[in-house]
Amino acid sequence: MKTALISHPDTLLHVMDGKHPESPARITAIMDALAHKQILTRLQRHEAPLATDEHLLRVHSASYVKYIRELSPLAGTVRLDPDTAMGPMSLQACLHATGAAILATDLVLGEKAGNAFCCVRPPGHHAGKARAAGFCIFNHVAAGVAHALSAHQLKRVAIIDFDVHHGDGTEDIFKDDERVMLCSTFQHPFYPHRGADTRTDRMINVPLAANSDGEEFRQAVMDNFAPALKHFRPEMIFVSAGFDAHQDDPLARLGLTAEDYTWMTGFIMDTAARYSKHRIVSLLEGGYHLPALAESASMHVSTLAGI
């Protein structure tokens, strides 16, 4: 079965301001790299549907979803936090990004795709139950996980978050849910300044000091994620695939390379082969140096696709 690539042109229409690093060019850079390397033609491609309120309300409060819908502007932008704004098409982009996670989950659990990558924006892992933050409005990976638990009755799902920032929104949503494990590496101390002191036996938070390199990252994954996942035995693995721990990224100070992302993808695939019937759904989170993002994300997808 092929790897599914799920995207939607409307995710390019979410624009916060002309110079914001979380820009539509991120998606274009990845898609161009996949086309240039002749990976695109070897994937099954899908347009992301719109998420419904049912999908959103599994992870966000009703008052928050209503607030975002009412805030959506007809023109101009409205600010949700110092880093996050909505324009006229932002709600539509967010609903397609969450919808991508839902479709990806259905394709993988329905055995219609080998695994899936959602090439969508804005990112989602800082969005909590009732909070937009750090470029994120709805938490797409969380909605996919909740869909796997509710609609497909899975009992144990793991999220592996290798974005350079802690997945604090995801932790907020699932910290009290025994069915979900979150494995998150992140630069610390650093935005969002959470996670370093909230580790539990299911919230596997692994802070990394600024300037940590790929070798230190891999060691941290083997020492922390591997034993936790072995014990938890997830039936499915979701990935918050942020590529902003790359050494060239302008927003952070870790030293990963595209080869480290290939290695990490291999680690996730080995884990999924062992415990999870190869079920992997990966979603784009951060990554702000366009050439590094294009190279790293395309290596991630080609590895998922076995190319």
Candidate list 163, 172, 260, 295; residue touching Zn ion; CB under 5 A: 163
Produce one character per residue of 203-236: b if its CB has 16 or more CB atoms within 10 Å, e if not. Answer: bbbbbbeeebebebbeeebeebbeebbeebebbb
Candidate list 128, 167, 234, 286; residue touching Zn ion; CB under 5 A: 286
Candidate list 23, 242, 264, 294; residue touching Zn ion; CB under 5 A: 242
Residue in the structure block whose two tokens are 């969002």:
192
Cβ proximity to Zn ion: between 26 and 202 the closer is 26
Question: Is residue 287 a contact residue for Zn ion (CB under 5 A)?
Answer: no
Residue in 255, 225, 243 with CA at minimum distance from that of residue 284? 243
Q: How far is the CB of 240 from Zn ion (least distance, A)?
A: 9
Cβ proximity to Zn ion: between 10 and 163 the closer is 163
User: Residue of minimal CB distance from Zn ion?
Assistant: 286
Question: Is residue 165 a contact residue for Zn ion (CB under 5 A)?
Answer: yes
Question: Is residue 128 a contact residue for Zn ion (CB under 5 A)?
Answer: no
CA-CA distance, 125 to 78, in Å (whole number)?
A: 20
Q: How far is the CB of 285 from Zn ion (least distance, A)?
A: 6
CA 119 to chain centre: 9
Residue in the structure block whose two tokens are 């989170």:
285
Q: Looking at residues 244 to 263 of the shown chain, list those that interact with Zn ion (rule: CB under 5 A).
A: 244
Cβ proximity to Zn ion: between 98 and 184 the closer is 184
Cβ proximity to Zn ion: between 23 and 276 the closer is 23
Distances from the Cα of 119 to the Cα of 100, 237, 247, angstroms: 8, 17, 22
Cβ proximity to Zn ion: between 8 and 126 the closer is 126
Cβ proximity to Zn ion: between 3 and 265 the closer is 265
Question: Is residue 125 a contact residue for Zn ion (CB under 5 A)?
Answer: no
**At 213, is the secondary structure helix, strand, or coil?**
strand
Contact between residue 139 and residue 64 where contact means Cβ atoms under 8 Å apart? no
Active-site residue (options: 46, 60, 126, 166): 126
Q: How far is the CB of 120 from Zn ion (least distance, A)?
A: 15
Q: What is the DSSP letter of 9?
A: G
Q: How far is the CB of 163 from Zn ion (least distance, A)?
A: 4
Q: Looking at residues 197 to 226 of the shown chain, list those that interact with Zn ion (rule: CB under 5 A).
A: none
Contact window for Zn ion (CB under 5 A) among 49-57, 65-73, 257-265, 278-286: 278-286
Contact window for Zn ion (CB under 5 A) among 86-94, 168-176, 197-205, 280-288: 280-288
Annotated active-site residue 289? The verdict is no
The 3-state secondary structure of 32-94, one letter per residue? HHHHHCCCHHHCEEEECCCCCHHHHHCCCCHHHHHHHHHHCCCCCCEEEECCEEECCCHHHHH
CA-CA distance, 150 to 135, in Å (whole number)?
A: 27
CA-CA distance, 97 to 50, in Å (whole number)?
A: 8
Residues labelled catalytic: 126
Binding site for Zn ion (CB under 5 A): 163, 165, 242, 244, 286
